[in-house]
Structure 1
């Protein structure tokens, strides 16, 4: 089963939160629906700036623990290595997810024809 280790931040990049999830899209939806769960309204953790997809739960948990122990500067360096502008990566994930669903629907329609 795939697992995701991710880092989310607020719009001002003041807070960095490391998380672990099996479904990163639904996790980010949860963060957006419950914006004041961890911080006040000005510090909503709604921007996914980094994620890794791992194939085993043990590897994901180990990576989560490792990243969680990083200092802020180490996390920032890791983020900038793959996302220099700190853009919200959920936009791409949502697009990719919609494309997969569309392809599955098209193939099922072709099968039914």
Structure 2
């Protein structure tokens, strides 16, 4: 099962939060549903700006512990290394999720169409 280490921020990039999750989309939905969980409403952590995928929970946990100890400058550096414009990556995850569901549905419906 995949595990992710991620960094989320607010619209003004005031706060950077490092987290670990098995399901990024559900985790980000949770952040959006609970806007005042960590900070006030002006600092809603709704923008996914960085993530890494790992095969094991142990690998993800080690990376999470490391990135969590980074200074703000180090966190900004790793975000900029792959996302220089700080684009919200949630859009790409949603798109990828939609595509994977379409592939599954297509694969399931193909045998049925062959039989009829």
Smaller-chain TM-score range?
A: over 0.9
- Cα distance in 2 for partners of 1:109, 1:43 equals 44
For 1:4-42, what per-residue CA distance to the aligned partner results, in whole angstroms no more than 9, with x for missing partners?
000000000000000000001100011111111111110
Are residue 64 (structure 1) and residue 64 (structure 2) matched?
A: yes
- Cα distance in 2 for partners of 1:11, 1:45 equals 8
Q: Give the SS at the match of 1:87.
A: coil
Q: Which residue of 2 aligns with 1:12?
A: 12
Q: Which residue of 1 aligns with 2:22?
A: 22
Q: Between Structure 1 and Structure 2, whose CA radius of gyration is higher?
A: 2
Q: Give the SS at the match of 2:8.
A: strand
Q: How many residues align?
A: 113
How large is the Cα RMSD of the aligned pairs? 0.6
Q: CA deviation at 1:46?
A: 0.3
Are residue 3 (structure 1) and residue 3 (structure 2) matched?
A: yes
Tell me the TM-score normalised to structure 1 length: 0.98
Q: CA deviation at 1:106?
A: 1.0
Unpaired runs of 5+ residues, structure 1, are none
Q: Which residue of 2 aligns with 1:35?
A: 35
Tell me the TM-score normalised to structure 2 length: 0.96
